[in-house]
């Protein structure tokens, strides 16, 4: 779950990271009122869950409350990378002299949290990685020890930070690590972390991504979810407890079990197809979950065929078959379905599907080949 900038920064503040004063507004007149309270110069910032708002015109410096109102009107009418702007953050304007980058995330190959710093802040870190890979420093953090002082000092020196800022920088780095750890985040990022004209370190932008699997122990964060910003398919998947990841291909895949889903994507590729998604309906999925899974797949306009691969254990094949029929009645798919069902009650499952004229396959390989063939037959790309 991604948090907005204003939410991320309020968590930063709880962990002692200095942030500009500011408040969020949903109307231009509110923005004007906040600007008046904060003083003359403010920055008006679109609150959408994508990066690069600055480049898209979603971050504007205003010299007066009236100008702040104007900018808020413009920004609240914008779409950034397809997302409508419903709120703006009005922050007191800072005077940055230097923009740095600092984040912490999971390094999956190192199986460890990693803190990443760079003297090149303000631009996306991927861009720095391409153009100036030598300007990125990484330190792996042992979760049993936490971020050590020497590691924070190593970051500060590698980021070419002058000595006078080290004390504050180390506090910020430790605060960021604690924020990441205590909130069960998968990413906590400050970009830019700036040095102001009056020689303070300040987190001008913030981004936190929380691990959805930990939300049960953070009731305070569940309320932060912005339903309006979620893609409808993701929202539905979450409501039914399905894991769904959209991909770029045209073969919709519905599978029970994450490992089987990965194998299904591999075999689909091997057969010359391109999967449209990863979808794990989980163990013991009843017909309701299956129907939701199908609805999600069919809502993707790229999907030209649906490949269902179910290995019945706890999940009963007849339940899955009935789920497919229920979903087909509701959704009336215009694309062919290929189903491979094996395991518990497979005969019943296959009979139910055969009665409804659905293509079934005995093996995954056969199912993948049938799915690819059906796309070629229909002349779709």
Q: Which two tokens stand for residue 214?
A: 């930990």
Backbone angles phi, psi at 105, to 5 degrees: -150, 180
Q: How far is the CB of 160 from ligand GDP (least distance, A)?
A: 18
Pick out residues in 70-89 that bind Mn ion (CB under 5 A).
Answer: none
Of 280, 258, 256, 271, the C-alpha closest to 349 is 256
Q: How far is CA 314 from the centre of its chain?
A: 30
- Farthest-apart Cα atoms in the chain, separation: 77
Q: Which helix (H) or strand (E) holds 380?
A: none
Q: How far is the CB of 23 from Mn ion (least distance, A)?
A: 19
Of 54, 60, 20, the C-alpha closest to 193 is 20
Choose from Mn ion, ligand GDP, none: what does 233 bind? Cβ within 5-8 Å by kind: none
Task: Point out the residue whose Cβ comes nearest to Mn ion.
Answer: 205
Selecting among 67, 189, 319, 346, the annotated active-site residue is 189
Selecting among 5, 67, 101, 240, the annotated active-site residue is 101
Q: Which helix (H) or strand (E) holds 8?
A: helix 5-14
Q: How wide is the angle at C-alpha 179 spanned by C-alphas 175 and 183, nearest 5°?
A: 170
Q: Give the residue with the Cβ less far from ligand GDP, 54 or 286.
A: 54
Choose from Mn ion, ligand GDP, none: what does 99 bind? Cβ within 5-8 Å by kind: ligand GDP
SS3 category, 209:
strand
Choose from ligand GDP, Mn ion, none: what does 59 bind? Cβ within 5-8 Å by kind: ligand GDP
> Is-catalytic flag, 165?
no
Q: Give the residue with the Cβ less far from ligand GDP, 30 or 92.
A: 92
Question: What does the binding site for ligand GDP look like in residue numbers (CB under 6 A)?
Answer: 43, 45, 51-54, 59, 61, 93-94, 96, 99, 122, 191-192, 204-205
Of 141, 93, 101, 139, the C-alpha closest to 118 is 101
SS3 category, 229:
helix
Piece in contact with Mn ion (CB under 5 A), picked from 68-76, 158-166, 187-195, 260-268: 187-195
Q: How far is the CB of 341 from Mn ion (least distance, A)?
A: 48
Per CB under 5 A, 287 contacts Mn ion: no
SS3 category, 236:
helix
Choose from Mn ion, ligand GDP, none: what does 343 bind? Cβ within 5-8 Å by kind: none
Pairing outcome for strands 22-25 and 88-92: antiparallel
Interface size with Mn ion, residues (CB under 5 A)? 2
Give the whole-angstrom CA distance, residue 120 versus residue 129.
10
Q: How far is the CB of 294 from Mn ion (least distance, A)?
A: 39
Q: How far is the CB of 96 from ligand GDP (least distance, A)?
A: 6
Per CB under 5 A, 205 contacts Mn ion: yes
Q: Which of 8, 103, 186, 191 binds Mn ion (CB under 5 A)?
A: 191
| Other residues' Cβ atoms within 10 Å of the Cβ of residue 321 | 29
Q: Give the residue with the Cβ less far from ligand GDP, 98 or 369.
A: 98
Q: Using an 8 Å Cβ cutoff, are 96 and 80 in contact?
A: no
Task: Point out the residue whose Cβ comes nearest to ligand GDP.
Answer: 54
Q: Give the residue with the Cβ less far from ligand GDP, 51 or 343.
A: 51
Q: Give the residue with the Cβ less far from Mn ion, 120 or 205.
A: 205
> Is-catalytic flag, 330?
no
Choose from Mn ion, ligand GDP, none: what does 282 bind? Cβ within 5-8 Å by kind: none
Q: Give the residue with the Cβ less far from ligand GDP, 167 or 197.
A: 197
Choose from ligand GDP, Mn ion, none: what does 183 bind? Cβ within 5-8 Å by kind: none
Q: Give the residue with the Cβ less far from ligand GDP, 195 or 281.
A: 195
Of 330, 332, 339, the C-alpha closest to 374 is 339
Q: Using an 8 Å Cβ cutoff, are 233 and 276 in contact?
A: no
| Other residues' Cβ atoms within 10 Å of the Cβ of residue 111 | 9
Q: Which two tokens stand for residue 26?
A: 């949903």
Q: What is the DSSP string of 47-60?
A: --SSS-TTTTT-EE
What is the contact surface with Mn ion in residues (CB under 5 A)? 191, 205
Residues that are catalytic: 101, 189
């Amino acid at each position: 779950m991604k948090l907005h900038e204003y939410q991320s920064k309020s968590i930063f503040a709880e962990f002692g990271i200095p942030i500009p004063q500011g408040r969020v507004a949903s109307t231009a007149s509110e923005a004007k009122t906040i600007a008046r309270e904060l003083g003359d110069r403010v920055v008006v910032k679109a609150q959408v869950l994508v990066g690069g708002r600055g480049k898209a015109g979603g971050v504007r410096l205003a010299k007066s409350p009236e100008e702040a109102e104007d900018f808020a009107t413009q920004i609240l009418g914008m779409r950034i990378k397809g997302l409508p702007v419903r709120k703006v953050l009005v922050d007191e304007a800072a005077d940055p002299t230097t923009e740095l980058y600092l984040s912490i995330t999971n390094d999956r190959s190192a199986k460890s949290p990693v803190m990443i710093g760079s003297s090149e802040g303000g631009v996306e870190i991927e861009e720095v990685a391409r153009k100036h890979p030598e300007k990125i420093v990484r330190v792996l953090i042992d979760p049993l020890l936490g971020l050590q002082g020497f590691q924070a000092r190593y970051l500060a020196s590698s980021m070419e930070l002058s000595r006078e800022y080290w004390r504050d920088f180390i506090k910020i780095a430790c605060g960021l690590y604690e924020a990441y750890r205590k909130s069960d985040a998968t990413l906590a990022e400050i970009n830019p972390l700036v040095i102001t004209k009056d020689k303070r370190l300040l987190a001008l932008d913030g981004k936190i991504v929380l691990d959805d699997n930990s939300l049960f122990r953070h009731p305070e964060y569940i309320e932060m979810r912005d339903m309006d910003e979620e893609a409808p398919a993701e929202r539905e998947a979450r409501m039914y407890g399905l894991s769904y990841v959209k991909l770029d291909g045209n073969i919709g895949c519905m599978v029970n079990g994450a490992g089987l889903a990965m194998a299904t994507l591999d075999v689909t590729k091997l057969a010359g197809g391109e999967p449209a998604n990863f979808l794990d309906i989980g163990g013991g999925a009843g017909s309701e979950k299956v129907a939701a899974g199908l609805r999600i797949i069919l809502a993707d306009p790229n999907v030209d065929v649906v490949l269902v691969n179910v290995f019945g254990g706890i999940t009963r094949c007849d339940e899955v078959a009935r789920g497919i029929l229920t979903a087909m009645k509701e959704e009336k798919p215009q694309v062919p379905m290929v189903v491979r069902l094996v395991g518990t009650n497979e005969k019943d499952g296959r009979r139910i599907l055969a009665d409804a004229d659905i293509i079934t396959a005995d093996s995954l390989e056969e199912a993948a080949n049938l799915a690819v063939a059906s796309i070629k037959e229909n002349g779709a790309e």
